[in-house]
């Protein structure tokens, strides 16, 4: 199929493609919706939360986090989010999962920024017990996604009752008459090393899979998207075995998920770098119904890592890395230590 043009119809953007049947040329129109994820790296306000350890991001804290730096962070994050997927749709991302947000207030400030306010993003968010106070959340445009239900799932560790991390958010909504459930996660970090910390991410994966299984039990054809900073790559056991996220559609069995970022990882395309090695922790994983050949419903079309020059470090020892807000204790007025990811869903228009 060859992409021809973009046009608006109803409330969604339509893509025009060519398909060939014998010698006849037939034009097929598709609606599209773009869905993404972004770890925005420490989007904190400047106010002390007595219930969390947010001292680092206070005016008198280690980062001297004042109203000017907070305003700069909001400006930078909103600039990136406003641009994601605009080569596909002028509306950008219809749904965006986010990680490392301190609270609902920072999301409210973010979607009110000039670059985003006309899109009228709504918010799904719950406070989680992470000791630093960072949560996951989701913003969405109601013209694409009409929220029906949202909930937060607590990740607990029976052998470590004092270990607190991010909850997993699930938001179910209607996209053009179809129910779609989005799970947003930020799995435990690799602090202490990948191997030593892996059991915690396996527990996170078990929780994610439990949510998936509950949705599939109610509807075997459920449309499910699991997205997040998983702190593991697509080939790690937590993702491949516990989420059952396959990298090849042909290898999927009933109940398996498809990792739309797998091919990016295998080709060396990452979302964050450490010690000159790239990882792809930021992933989007979809249920079997999204890789159907039946385009009368929304199906997966293509995925991307967003990495334009302005969010990339252009010089120094970290040239080519994501341009961060801080590095080595120095304020850079950058963006985040992860690149965003997004995918295009398409649906045939009769």
- SS3 for the chain is CEEEEEEEECCEEEEEEEEEECCEEEEEEEEEEEEEEEEEEEECCCCCCCCCCCHHHCCCCCCCCCHHHHHHHHHHHHHHHHHCCCCCCCCCCCEEEEEEECCHHHHHHHHCCCCCHHHCEEEEECCCCCCCCCEEEEEEECCCCEEEEEEEECCCCCCCCCCCCCCEEEEEEEECCEEEEEEEEECCCCCCCHHHHHHHHHHHHHHHHHHHHHHHHHCCCCEEEEEEECCCCCCCHHHHHHCCEECCHHHCCCCCEEECCHHHHHCCCCCEEECCEEECCEEEEEEHHHHCCCCCCCEEEEEEECCCHHHECCCCCCCCCECCCEECCEECCCCCCCCCEEEEEEEEEC
φ, ψ dihedrals at 325, nearest 5°: -70, -45
Q: In the chain, which stretches have pLDDT less than 70?
A: 1-26
pLDDT at 13: 43
- Distance of alpha carbon 272 from alpha carbon 265, whole angstroms: 11
pLDDT at 270: 97
Whether residue 148 contacts residue 127, with contact meaning beta carbons closer than 8 Å, is answered with no
Name the token pair of 179: 């129910």
Whether residue 34 contacts residue 81, with contact meaning beta carbons closer than 8 Å, is answered with no
Total-model pTM: 0.92
Name the token pair of 313: 């470090």
What fold characterizes domain 2-349?
Answer: Deoxyribonuclease I; Chain A (3.60.10)
pLDDT at 276: 85
């Amino acid at each position: 199929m060859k992409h021809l043009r973009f046009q608006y119809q109803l409330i969604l953007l339509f893509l025009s493609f060519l398909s060939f049947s014998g010698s006849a040329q037939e034009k097929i129109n598709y609606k599209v919706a773009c869905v993404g994820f972004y770890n925005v790296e420490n989007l904190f306000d400047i106010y002390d939360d007595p219930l969390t350890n947010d001292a680092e991001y206070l005016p008198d804290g280690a980062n001297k986090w004042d109203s000017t730096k907070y305003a700069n962070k909001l400006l930078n994050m909103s600039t990136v989010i406003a641009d994601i997927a605009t080569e596909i749709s002028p509306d950008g991302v219809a749904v965006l999962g986010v990680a490392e947000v301190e609270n609902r207030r920072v999301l409210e400030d973010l979607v009110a920024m000039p670059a985003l306010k006309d899109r009228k993003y709504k918010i799904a968010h719950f406070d989680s017990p992470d000791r630093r106070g960072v949560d996951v959340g989701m913003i969405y445009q109601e013209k694409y996604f009409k929220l029906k239900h949202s909930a937060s799932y607590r990740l607990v560790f029976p052998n470590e009752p004092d270990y607190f991390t991010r909850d997993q958010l699930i938001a179910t909504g209607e996209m053009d008459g179809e129910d779609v459930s989005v799970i947003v996660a930020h799995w435990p970090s690799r602090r202490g090393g990948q191997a030593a910390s892996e059991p915690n991410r396996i527990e996170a994966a078990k929780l994610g899979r439990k949510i998936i299984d509950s949705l599939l039990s109610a509807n075997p054809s459920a449309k499910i998207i699991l997205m997040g900073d998983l702190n593991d790559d697509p080939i790690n056991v937590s993702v491949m075995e516990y989420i059952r996220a396959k990298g090849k559609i042909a290898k999927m069995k009933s109940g398996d998920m498809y990792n739309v970022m797998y091919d990016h990882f295998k080709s060396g395309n990452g979302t964050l770098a450490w010690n000159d090695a790239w990882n792809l922790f930021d992933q989007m994983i979809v249920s079997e119904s999204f890789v159907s050949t039946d385009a009368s419903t929304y199906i997966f079309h293509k995925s991307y890592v967003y990495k334009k020059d302005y969010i990339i470090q252009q010089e120094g020892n970290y040239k080519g890395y994501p341009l961060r807000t801080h590095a080595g204790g120095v304020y850079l007025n950058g963006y985040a230590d992860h690149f965003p990811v997004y995918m295009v869903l398409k649906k045939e228009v009769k």
